[in-house]
């Protein structure tokens, strides 16, 4: 350790006997382990049996999504790991002058200035072209899963009011081209997608821009599109403010998160048996990450607040209010944002590869210190 400093503040603290570190309280040891990279965790697990037990129970756990953003939109990108409070910087020229349309499983769907769509993995830098996919006019996109999975499909939806229907573009990675089909809306309803769709139990769910009474469902296997009439939320009665709606898949259910800072966010679950939105007071320990083009949820991630909503910068309006806890119904500061006063572009939550931080030799900033 080699500490040579002699100055001390306050009264000197002298404690005689050795402390039983091997018997350290599990919850505290877990906090320590959660700050370490895999290599350190592996070495730590060789120290003694108790530490091994804790380390092994932790290093297979779920990871936190990272926030991908470009402070200046110049091809320099940063990832923020909110569980570690670390920022990683990377030059990603592939993302320069591109729009992020959505993200899933560590991949992003991009559109270039000519509206050509590309699938890109910012961690492995692999890319998959989507021949013939023209992003202009398409309202929203979603990915069922990462394009390396066999049942992956890229989904794009565009409303077509004259036709009282929607135009849906699909691309199966590996195919020579994408397919575009028009579908008529059930009961010739007007439907315009108003939030990024989510993929849940094999279906894409889309929310109407104008009414939470209408949920569009697309089955990518049967190629069917239908509009479900859902008993609406009572949001309009409760709040006159403009609210931003997000759909999130959480533990096999479709959630609607309605945000209007500084009001508290509302969360509803789509109850398909009763065809209604059911308001949730709790996420049952899950954590939801909201960004404009991709929202996702996780459970049991060390150092991530449970029962909370994490916002991306784009969706945070208060200075230090980036996490909303459903436990105390308050917005909370998120320390690691402290130094970032720039407007963030292309902000999206993305799932990093397992132990993704090892991809970065050395984090440029370590903002672990709580201020």
Partner 1 sequence: MSSTKIFLKSSDDKTFEIDETAARASETLKNIIDGGCLDGVIPLPNVSSNILPKVIEYCKKHGGDNGSSKKIANGGVDKDKEILPDYDEEEDKREKVRVDELKKWEEEYMDFDQQVLYDLMLAANYLHIKGLLDLTVEKAASMIRGRTPDQIRENFNINSDFTPEEEEEMILIEDEWDDEWAFD
Tell me which residues touch partner 1 (CB under 8 A): 1, 3, 5, 7-11, 13-19, 21-22, 24-25, 27-28, 31-32, 35-40, 42-49, 51, 317-320, 332-333, 335, 338, 341-343, 355, 358-359, 361, 368-371
Given a contact cutoff of 8 angstroms between Cβ atoms, the answer to whether 23 and 34 are in contact is no
Beta bridge partners of 216: 206, 227
The smaller minimum CB distance to partner 1, of residues 44 and 245, is found at 44
**Closer to partner 1 at the Cβ: 88 or 133?**
88
Instruction: Using the minimum distance from each CB to partner 1, give the nearer residue, 11 or 222.
Output: 11
Q: Which CB atom, from 32 or from 190, has the smaller least distance to partner 1?
A: 32
Residue 23 DSSP one-character state: G
Beta-bridge partners for 210: none
Pairing of strands 308-311, 287-290: parallel
For residue 43, what is the DSSP state? H
- CA within 13 Å, CB half, 69: 23
Of residues 295, 286, 345, the one with CA closest to residue 62? 286
The Cα–Cα gap between 21 and 176 comes to 59
Residue among 52 and 274 whose Cβ is closer to partner 1: 52
Min CB(321)–partner 1 separation in Å: 9
Whether residue 368 contacts residue 86, with contact meaning beta carbons closer than 8 Å, is answered with: yes
Beta-carbon contacts of 10 under 8 Å, excluding residues fewer than 6 positions away, are: none
Q: How do 154-160 and 287-290 pair as beta strands?
A: unpaired
Compute the Cα dihedral for 354, 355, 358, 364 and give only its sign: positive
Nearest to partner 1 of 27, 281 (CB atom): 27
Token pair of 37, please? 């990279």
48 or 329: whose CB is closer to partner 1? 48
Helix axes 49-58, 26-33, angle to 10 degrees: 60
Q: State in angstroms the smallest separation of the CB of 278 from partner 1.
A: 32
* Closest approach of partner 1 to the CB of residue 291, in Å: 17
Residue 258 near residue 265, CB atoms below 8 Å:
yes
CB of 238 to partner 1, least distance (A): 23
Least spacing, CB of residue 300 vs partner 1, in Å: 19
CB of 248 to partner 1, least distance (A): 25
Output the 3-class SS for 30-73. HHHHCCCCHHHHHHHCCCCHHHHHHHHHHCCCCCCCEEEEECCC
To the nearest whole angstrom, how small is the minimum distance from the Cβ of residue 186 to partner 1?
41
Shortest Cβ 342–partner 1 spacing (Å): 7
Closer by beta carbon to partner 1, 237 or else 371: 371
């Amino acid at each position: 350790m080699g500490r040579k400093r002699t100055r001390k503040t306050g009264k000197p603290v002298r404690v005689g006997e050795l402390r039983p570190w091997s018997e350290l309280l599990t919850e505290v040891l877990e906090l320590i382990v959660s700050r370490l990279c895999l290599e350190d965790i592996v070495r730590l697990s060789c120290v003694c049996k108790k530490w091994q037990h804790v380390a092994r129970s932790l290093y297979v756990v779920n990871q936190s999504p990272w926030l991908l953003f470009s402070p200046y939109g110049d091809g320099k990108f940063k990832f923020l790991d909110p569980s570690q409070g670390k920022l990683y910087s990377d030059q990603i020229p592939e993302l320069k002058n591109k729009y992020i349309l959505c993200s899933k499983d560590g991949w992003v769907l991009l559109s270039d200035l000519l509206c050509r769509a590309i699938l890109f993995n910012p961690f492995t830098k692999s890319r998959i072209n989507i021949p013939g996919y023209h992003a202009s006019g398409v309202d929203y996109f979603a990915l069922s899963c990462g394009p390396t999975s066999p049942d992956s499909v890229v989904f794009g939806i565009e409303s077509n009011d004259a036709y009282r229907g929607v135009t849906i573009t699909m691309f199966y990675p590996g195919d020579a081209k994408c397919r575009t089909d028009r579908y008529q809306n059930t009961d010739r309803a007007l439907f315009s997608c108003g939030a990024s769709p989510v993929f849940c139990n094999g279906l894409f769910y889309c929310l109407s821009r104008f009414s939470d009474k209408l949920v569009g469902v697309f089955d990518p296997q049967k190629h069917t599109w239908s509009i479900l009439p859902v008993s609406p939320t009572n949001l309009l009665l409760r709040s006159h403010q403009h609210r931003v709606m997000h759909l999130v898949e959480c533990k096999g259910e479709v959630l609607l998160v309605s945000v209007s800072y500084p009001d508290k966010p509302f969360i509803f679950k789509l109850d398909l048996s009763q065809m209604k939105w059911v308001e949730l007071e709790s996420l049952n320990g899950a954590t939801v990450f909201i960004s404009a083009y991709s929202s996702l949820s996780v459970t049991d991630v060390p150092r991530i607040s449970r029962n909370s909503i994490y916002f991306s910068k784009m969706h945070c309006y208060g200075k230090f209010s980036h996490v909303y806890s459903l436990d105390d119904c308050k917005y909370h500061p998120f320390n690691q944002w402290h130094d970032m006063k720039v407007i963030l572009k292309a902000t999206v939550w993305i799932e990093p590869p397992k132990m993704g931080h090892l991809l970065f030799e050395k984090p440029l900033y370590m903002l672990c210190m709580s201020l």
